[in-house]
Each structure stands twice: as C-alpha cells, then as structure tokens.
C-alpha cells in the first residue's frame, strides 16, 4: 500500500491538489461561507484526477503487480489524505476561533455560519459527498469526470447553502454556537459528520471496486 | 514448458468479435503474434493483462489462472505497450524510482545496461522522446525486473531498422536465458528474423498457432517467403 500511495503522490497527483489544501484556512475568513473551503480543496483533487487521466495513470496502475482493487484503494487513500490534511487545518482554525477568538467582534457579527464543531462536521460530510459522487462516479468508467463533478458541485453547493443558513431557521440558532456554547450538541453534530464521512466513503469505495472490476480499460 | 496459456478466449464488441482464441507460450521460445491492424491483437493482449473482460475463455500463467493470482503473476511478467505515453511530464528517473518499488526482483544492473543500450537519458520526460524512444522506454521497464515472460504489444513499431535489429537480438539473448517472449507485430520480417512460433490472427480468429517451421510447411508454397505467404493468406487464399 505504501508503494501505491507513493505512486499517487509522486506520479499521479497534480501539485494543485497539495496547494489547495491551504483552502482549509478559509475557516478563518469572517463574513464568508467558510464551507466553500471544502469545495476548493475538492477542486484541487478534481484537477489531480484530470492530470492523472492525461497521463494514462489508471491503465499504468492496472498494469502494475497489484490487485485491481488496490488501484481503487490508492485513489481513495490519496483523496482521503488530502481531505485529512485540509481537515487538520480546518480543525486548527475552528479550535482557535472557538477559544482565543471566540469573542472577536468580526466573527460575532457574522451573518453566515461560524467555525464550530457543526461546521467541521459539515466539512466531513461534504468531503464524504465528494468521495461518493465524484470519486465513486469516476470509477464507473475510469474515464468520465465531467458528469460526476457537475453533480457533486450542485449537491455540494446546495449543502453549503443549507448549512450556512440553517441557524437562521427559528429553533436552530444553537447550530451557530460560539466558543463552548452547546458543546454537547456541537460534539454530537461533529461525530455525526465524521460517521457520515466514514460510512459514505466506505460504501463508495466498495462500489468503486466492483465497478472498476467490471469495466474494460 | 507452457508459461502462458490462452484457451477459447471470446470477446464481443458491437462491430468486432474475437472468437475462440487459443495458444500457448512456452519457456525459452519467442512467439510472434501477427495480424493486420484491427485483427484482434491488442484485444487479445489486453485480455492477457486483465485490462478487458473476455466474454468467455481462460488465461493461465505458470499453471495459475490470471484471475485471483494477478498480483503474483504480474510480478513475473514484463509488459510493454508500444508508444503509449505514461506520465509524459515526469522525468524517466522519477517514473523508474516508483515502478522499481513494485518489483522485489528489480535488477538495477539490467536497468543500467538497457538504459545505456537504448541511449535513454534519465533526466528526460516521455514527452521529450520520439515515438521510437518511447517504445524503448516502455521496453526498459519491461526488461529490468527479471521477468520470466515478456508480453509486448507492437514493440518494434516506430523503431529504426538498427534499433529493431538490436531489439530482436535482445529477444534472442533472453530466450537463451529461458525467458518466453510473446510480441505482437504487423512487420512480418520481425517474425522471420527471430520467432520460433507464430500465432496468426485474422478478422478476430486465430488462423494458426504453431512453430514457424510447421507454419511454412503447412501454408507456404514452393519458394515463397513468409511475407508472401501471409499476404496471400490475408487476401483470402489459405492454401490449406
């Protein structure tokens, strides 16, 4: 597995995939839909899939002495690695905003969602959607990327819009908790996001293995 | 000893069918796989790598079915796919440093030997190579891990006559070491020069799979060269 990950990082990946991890720091931007940071990270991954396709990466990988499932596993591991790096930045930004910057007026007057555990849970969830819709969709043909990415964009921005605006719905104000307010609810929402990410990614990976095994390269 | 065996391979496409392809590649022999463009050579070879799924038929290597033993089998196979461009913007050195990790049998001295023989520059990227040099780069990867069988799709296409000659000499050298070589080509003189066995495919059907001596004995007319025999057969006169 180490070898296939090295291949993903050194041969298949576009530098943009690594560079766009920095969009995780958008969780610091006040008055901006911070979940767009998740989308930009996945945009880097999309570009990486495009450059890999131009380099005949999938056929090259399938010819290596590894099981066909490992080709799929390599891609999912790489995607999860990039998402994990971005999530580390998002978590760091969230922790700073929930502690030392919890009373900063610039964040308190923010009409959009604040960076808290719910936002982090939503980031996990949207990354899970990317893995399900785009990565899983790609492995149905190991070639076509446009359609799954467009579907992902539509659903991701729908989710971002809902998440950013949800706390304005009467009764849901607790979602926009500052600092350690409603921490139990926040922790549950984060756990739900992580669980959704794990389950969605695992299901998508299993289906991608089945699809990839069926197609002709 | 049979190293690779293809039995009753069938693959149907809307406008083409590979029907009932069967042949066997033996250790220490060179088998030429010949047929005109679109005859089914690449479909057969892709099936032999499990890149496409035959509708029926079996493929075994070293007495093991390919399906279920892919990882182990591929370690013992060398492959080359003509002028296909892998990672066109990456340096050869970087591509090799990754590929070599997948083979515990990677032979650095063989790699250096063929690198020098093919006059490839490790600092170049595939995009900077001519078509012939791309073929050589793919062959370099195939030859550097002590493969027991080489499966090569059009390895001589795009090569100049000198390089082609060198390559066919390499095949002969490998054969003496017990390596089986299976290569597809549409250049009949390549087969004439070095092949022990011929698999001839036409319109998706294996017309014959036998030793070169048996082939000429069965199909060639008096004084006819292999090229003339094949051209006549391809015109539809099997003379069988």
Which 3 state secondary structure label does DSSP give A129?
helix
Cβ-contact A82, A45 below 8 angstroms:
yes
Pick the closest to residue A116 from A175, A191, A203, A31 (CA basis).
A175
pLDDT for the residue numbered A74: 97
pLDDT for the residue numbered B75: 92
**Who among B52, B98, B99 is closest to A217 (CB)?**
B52
| B residues 94-113 lying closer than 8 A (beta carbon) to A | 94-95, 97-99, 101-103
- C-alpha to C-alpha distance for B198 and A27, rounded to whole angstroms: 65
Cβ-contact A58, A217 below 8 angstroms:
yes
CA atoms within 13 A on the CB side of B197: 19
Q: Which of A16-25, B121-130, B146-155 has the highest mean pLDDT?
A: A16-25
pLDDT for the residue numbered B238: 53
pLDDT at B103 over 70: yes
What six digits make up the tokens of A136?
A: 């899983």
Which pTM was predicted?
Answer: 0.91
Confidence band (pLDDT; 50, 70, 90) for B177?
A: confident
User: Is the minimum CB–CB distance between A170 and chain B shorter than 8 Å?
Assistant: no
Cα–Cα distances (Å) from B177 to A118, B29, B140, B171, in that order, read 65, 10, 18, 10
Return the residue in A59, A63, A69, A215 with the most chain B beta carbons within 10 A, the one to mutate for interface testing. A63
pLDDT at B237 over 80: no
- C-alpha to C-alpha distance for A12 and A58, rounded to whole angstroms: 9
- Write out the DSSP string of A97-148: HHTTTTT-HHHHT-SS--SSHHHHHHHHHHHHHIIIIIIHHHTTTTS--HHH
Which 3 state secondary structure label does DSSP give B137?
helix
User: Is the minimum CB–CB distance between A56 and chain B shorter than 8 Å?
Assistant: yes
Q: What is the rounded average pLDDT of the residues A49-59?
A: 95
Q: What is the rounded average pLDDT of the residues B167-183?
A: 90
Phi, psi angle pair for B221, to nearest 5°: -90, 165
* ipTM value: 0.88
pLDDT at A206 over 70: yes
Contact A56 B89 (CB under 8 A): no
Residue B123: Cβ within 10 Å count: 10
pLDDT for the residue numbered A83: 98
User: Is the minimum CB–CB distance between B36 and chain A shorter than 8 Å?
Assistant: no
pLDDT at B214 over 90: yes
Cα–Cα distances (Å) from A63 to A77, B71, B72, B93, in that order, read 19, 10, 12, 19
pLDDT for the residue numbered B240: 45
Confidence band (pLDDT; 50, 70, 90) for B236?
A: confident
User: Is the minimum CB–CB distance between B89 and chain A shorter than 8 Å?
Assistant: yes
Pick the closest to residue A148 from A208, A62, A68, A195 (CA basis).
A208
Cβ-contact A98, A181 below 8 angstroms:
no
Return the residue in B9, B11, B99 with the most chain A beta carbons within 10 A, the one to mutate for interface testing. B99
DSSP state at residue A135: I
- C-alpha to C-alpha distance for A78 and A82, rounded to whole angstroms: 6
Q: Which residue has the higher pLDDT, A209 or B162?
A: A209
Q: Which residue has the higher pLDDT, A103 or A43?
A: A43
Name the least confident of A36-50, B80-94, B195-209: B80-94
Distance from CA of B203 to the nearest CA of A (A): 21
Q: What is the rounded average pLDDT of the residues A4-10?
A: 96
Pick the closest to residue B240 from B216, B206, B204, B223 (CA basis).
B216
- C-alpha to C-alpha distance for A203 and B239, rounded to whole angstroms: 58
Q: Which residues pair with B208 in a beta bridge?
A: B200
Cβ-contact A8, A74 below 8 angstroms:
yes
Q: What is the pLDDT of residues A98-149, one digit of tens each?
A: 999 988 888 888 889 999 999 999 999 999 999 999 999 999 999 999 999 9
In chain A, what percentage of residues exceed pLDDT 90?
88
What six digits make up the tokens of B142?
A: 């195939």
Q: What is the pLDDT of residues A147-180, one digit of tens each?
A: 999 999 999 999 999 999 999 999 998 989 888 8
DSSP state at residue A55: T
Pick the closest to residue A203 from A139, A160, A146, A156 (CA basis).
A139
């Amino acid at each position: 597995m180490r070898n296939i990950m090295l291949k993903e990082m050194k041969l298949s990946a576009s530098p943009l995939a690594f560079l766009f991890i920095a969009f995780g720091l958008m969780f610091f931007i006040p008055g901006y839909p911070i979940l767009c940071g998740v989308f930009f990270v996945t945009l880097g991954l999309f570009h990486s899939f495009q450059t890999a396709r131009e380099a005949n990466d999938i056929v090259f990988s399938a010819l290596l002495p590894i099981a066909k499932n490992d080709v799929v596993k390599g891609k999912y591991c790489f995607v999860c690695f990039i998402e994990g790096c971005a999530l580390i930045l998002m978590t760091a930004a969230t922790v700073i905003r929930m502690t030392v910057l919890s009373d900063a007026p610039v964040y308190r007057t923010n009409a959009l969602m604040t960076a808290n555990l719910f936002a982090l849970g939503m980031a996990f969830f949207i990354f899970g959607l990317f893995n399900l819709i785009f990565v899983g969709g790609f492995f149905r043909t190991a070639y076509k990327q446009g359609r799954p990415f467009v579907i992902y964009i539509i659903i991701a921005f729908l989710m971002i819009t809902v998440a950013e605006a949800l706390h304005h719905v009467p009764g849901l104000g607790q979602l926009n908790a500052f600092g350690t307010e409603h921490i139990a609810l926040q922790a549950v929402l984060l756990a739900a996001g992580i669980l959704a990410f794990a389950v969605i990614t695992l299901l998508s990976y299993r289906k991608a293995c089945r699809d990839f095994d069926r197609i002709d390269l | 000893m049979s190293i690779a065996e293809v039995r009753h391979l069938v693959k149907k496409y809307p406008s083409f069918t590979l029907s009932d392809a069967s042949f066997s590649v033996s250790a220490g022999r060179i088998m030429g796989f010949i047929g005109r463009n679109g005859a089914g050579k690449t479909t057969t070879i892709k099936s032999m790598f499990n890149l496409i799924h035959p509708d029926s038929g079996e493929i075994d290597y070293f007495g093991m079915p390919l399906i279920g033993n892919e990882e182990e089998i591929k370690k013992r196979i060398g492959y080359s796919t003509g002028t296909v461009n892998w990672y066109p913007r990456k340096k050869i050195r970087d591509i090799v440093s990754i590929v070599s990790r997948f083979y515990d049998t990677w032979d650095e001295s063989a790699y250096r030997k063929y690198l020098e023989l093919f006059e490839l520059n490790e600092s170049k990227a595939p995009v900077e190579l001519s078509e012939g040099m791309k073929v050589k780069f793919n062959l370099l990867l195939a030859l550097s891990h002590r493969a027991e069988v080489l499966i090569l799709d059009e390895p001589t296409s795009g090569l100049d006559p000198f390089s082609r000659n060198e390559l066919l000499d390499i095949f002969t050298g490998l054969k003496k070491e017990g390596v089986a070589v299976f290569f597809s080509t549409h250049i009949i003189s390549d087969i004439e020069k070095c092949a022990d066995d011929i698999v001839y495919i036409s319109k998706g059907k294996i017309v014959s799979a036998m030793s070169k001596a048996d082939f000429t004995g069965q199909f060639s007319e008096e004084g006819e060269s292999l090229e003339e025999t094949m051209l006549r057969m391809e015109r539809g006169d099997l003379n069988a």
